[in-house]
């Protein structure tokens, strides 16, 4: 969701430069910094941005392109003068407003009454938004490519975990048998095969991670599918990655094995990178 967009042109209120700056955000948050020529256009600008931008923290900056000092917008001045004259009548005061006083008040107040944006100003804003969206699209494409590499890494790590899982039970069985033999040899006891089988069976049930590995694979496939859809997938990806992390944590807690623990640590590092990348998608 990071990117910038800009547009410069002549409008009904003078030459303007419009710039949009976007950074990551879970929702859409809009900020506006406007010159006095477009003061009062805030609601129109916000509606236009909300119509075309779905997510991120976006700052709109509108500045007068020329450094020359220009007159305030006439429509806004007319609204202000009418309000001032109405207030004078209500208060029983003389209406002796002059041009100098009106311009001074306009400079102080920046004329913030809401009003409809002129067609040329609105067209310039749409050009800047299109430029922003183009930059965001390129940033999103780069992010998707990086995420696919991380998913490839996760697939390889998951494959290692699938290969390692059966060996965990075999290794435990061998260690348990050796310990029992050593104990029986020192105590002069008889080895009870049924108890051994039951103990190994209970352990196998506790460390069975087949379901976690299957769900993990399903989540990774779904993530790859979402990355093909284009925009509007950021929140879904964040939810799926949270599920991937949950399955990975369960995998680590159920597997008392050094090799599996190293695999889980590498998987969690890849998931963290994916979560950071997903935050950059709309």
Give pLDDT tens digits for 181-229. Answer: 777 677 766 656 666 666 666 666 666 788 899 999 999 999 999 888 7
pLDDT score for 111: 47
**Sequence-ordered list of residues with C-beta below 8 angstroms from that of 259, at least 6 positions apart, any chain:** 164
Q: Minimal CA–CA distance to 255: which of 198, 192, 208, 222?
A: 208
Measured distance CA(30)–CA(57) in Å, rounded = 6
Distances (CA, A) of 250 to 151, 213, 215, 244, 278: 19, 10, 11, 10, 23
Give backbone dihedrals phi and psi of 32, rounded to 5 degrees, phi first.
Answer: -130, 135
pLDDT score for 230: 64
Strand 3-11 with 14-23, pairing: antiparallel
Measured distance CA(217)–CA(220) in Å, rounded = 5
CA atoms within 13 A on the CB side of 44: 17
Note whether 264 and 251 are within 8 A (CB): yes
For the chain, which ranges sit under pLDDT 70? 1, 66-73, 103, 105-116, 173, 176-177, 180, 184, 188-207, 230-232
pLDDT score for 201: 64
Measured distance CA(92)–CA(36) in Å, rounded = 31
pLDDT score for 69: 52
Measured distance CA(258)–CA(167) in Å, rounded = 12
* Burial state string for 83-109 with b = 16 or more CB within 10 A and e = fewer than 16: ebeeeeeeeeeeeeeeeeebeebbeee
Measured distance CA(10)–CA(65) in Å, rounded = 9
What residue spans define the domains of the chain? 3-137, 140-278
Which pTM value belongs to this model?
Answer: 0.65
Give backbone dihedrals phi and psi of 23, rounded to 5 degrees, phi first.
Answer: -130, 170
């Amino acid at each position: 969701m990071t990117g910038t967009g800009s547009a410069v042109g002549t409008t009904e209120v003078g030459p303007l430069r419009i710039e949009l700056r976007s950074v990551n955000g879970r929702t859409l948050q809009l900020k506006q910094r406007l010159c006095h020529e477009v003061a009062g256009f805030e609601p129109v600008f916000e509606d236009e941005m909300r119509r075309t931008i779905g997510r991120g923290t976006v700052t709109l900056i509108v500045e007068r392109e020329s450094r020359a000092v220009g007159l305030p917008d006439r429509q806004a001045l007319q609204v202000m003068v009418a309000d001032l004259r109405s207030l004078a009548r209500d208060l029983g005061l003389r209406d002796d407003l002059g041009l100098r006083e009106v311009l001074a008040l306009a400079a102080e107040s920046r004329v913030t009454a809401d009003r409809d944006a002129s067609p040329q100003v609105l067209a310039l804003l749409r050009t800047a938004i299109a430029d922003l969206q183009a930059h965001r699209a390129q940033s999103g494409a780069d992010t998707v490519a990086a995420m696919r590499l991380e998913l490839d890494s996760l697939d390889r790590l998951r494959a290692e975990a699938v290969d390692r899982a059966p060996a965990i039970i075999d290794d435990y069985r061998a260690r348990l048998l050796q310990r029992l033999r050593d104990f029986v040899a020192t105590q002069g006891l008889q080895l009870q095969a049924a108890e051994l089988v039951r103990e190994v069976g209970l352990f196998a049930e506790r460390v069975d991670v087949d379901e976690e590995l299957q769900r993990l694979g399903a989540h990774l496939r779904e993530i790859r599918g979402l990355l093909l859809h284009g925009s509007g997938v950021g929140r879904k990806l964040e939810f799926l990655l949270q599920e991937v992390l949950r399955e990975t944590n369960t995998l680590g807690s159920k597997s008392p094995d050094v090799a599996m623990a190293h695999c889980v640590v590498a998987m969690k590092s890849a998931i963290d990178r994916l979560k950071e990348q997903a935050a950059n998608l709309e």
